Amino acid sequence: MIALTEFERLEAPGLWLPEGDSQRRSVIVSVGEATLTLSDDRTDGRPLTHWSLPAIERITAEGETPARYRPASDSSEELEIDDALMIEAIDRIRRAIDRARPHPGRLRGVMIGLGAAAILGLGVFWLPGALIRQAVTIVPPVSRAEIGEELLERIKRLSGAPCDTVHGARALNTLKNRLIPGGSGQIVVLTSGVAQSQHLPGKIILLNRALVEDHEDPDVLAGYVLAELVRAEEQDPLERLLQDAGLTTSLRLLTTGHIPPEILDAHAESLLTAPVTPVENDHLIAAFAGAEVHSAPYAYARDITGESVLPLIEADGVQIETTRPVLSDGDWVALQGVCGG
């Protein structure tokens, strides 16, 4: 029981209805350590009964006077008190005891609430990412290539037909075999649409014609291709598409193996306006070293002062120890004329 420290002794008159008795009796009510004592007010204060404080129930609503209590829920005894101080004291004790009792239902409710919140959190934050990762993992290379081709067809509608001459196409195929492991994918030169370069699922690399026509060193073009391959490794292009499209598209890809045409249309448009994301210099330098391509020409093509691309310049000949030509002179000349200009 809580201690009523502000009172040395707390007593008040009350009306007691004994169990099985229809006649109310005047009593003196006093609060003890664990009991409420009802004493006879007409004799020498002899105790008539003791009620256990933890078991007492209030019959009337709080705030209503006089207040009526009973010693237990199954008892017909009643006690009526009109003294505001005694009512407040008894109700304080009852509230304190109630707070101290275990509340399994309340705990169960809290646990259910926490569980529901956890499930909701999983649904909102974890499930979409997990489904996207699952889709990206299980989609086979053939399906990736098909999705990339479908995106390419939509980009062609926006940018126009890609550059294509017999000798230029042969040179592009040579460049692809030189730079893309396994010779998979393709390199496409567009007259417009992409600002510089972009990549699609299935190792499809898109290049603006200016990268072919405005530079004298094929190592520059090779650098842009390698940078797109590194970007594709740092963020899978299929994962990028599904993140843009949302959960429903991921579910449809997992169940049917296809992506709705309108989703591909929207993603194709976004790719043409998306800013180029930077890549880690260490990853890019490793790609140059693996392909045995000079990195300095590409670095100076990006920044003629060399200030913002200094790591790429310094790596050439140091971290990139062995290099070999990207294209023969004949293939490079043919590639520069792939757009017919």
Reported as a single tens digit per residue, the pLDDT across 193-209 is 888 999 999 999 999 99
pLDDT digits (tens, 9 = 90+) for 248-286: 888 888 788 889 999 999 999 999 888 888 899 999 999
Angstrom distance (rounded) from CA 121 to CA 220: 47
pLDDT of 210 reads 93
Compute the distance between CA of residue 244 and CA of residue 225 in angstroms, rounded to an integer.
Answer: 24
State the average pLDDT over residues 225-253: 90
For the chain, where are the alpha helices, taking DSSP H only?
84-100, 104-121, 127-138, 141-159, 166-179, 209-213, 218-234, 237-245, 247-256, 261-273, 281-291, 296-302, 310-315, 329-336
Its pTM stands at 0.63
pLDDT score at 98: 72
Residue 40 contacts residue 27 (beta carbons within 8 Å) = yes
The mean-pLDDT minimum among 18-32, 153-167, 261-275 falls in: 18-32
How confident is the model at residue 36, as a pLDDT? 85
118 or 229, which is more confident?
229
Rounded-to-integer distance, Cα 229 and Cα 283, Å:
10
Q: If you average pLDDT over every residue of the chain, what do you get?
A: 84
Structure-token match 């609060």, residue found = 31
Burial of 340 from C-beta contacts in 10 A (0-12 / 13-18 / 19+): exposed
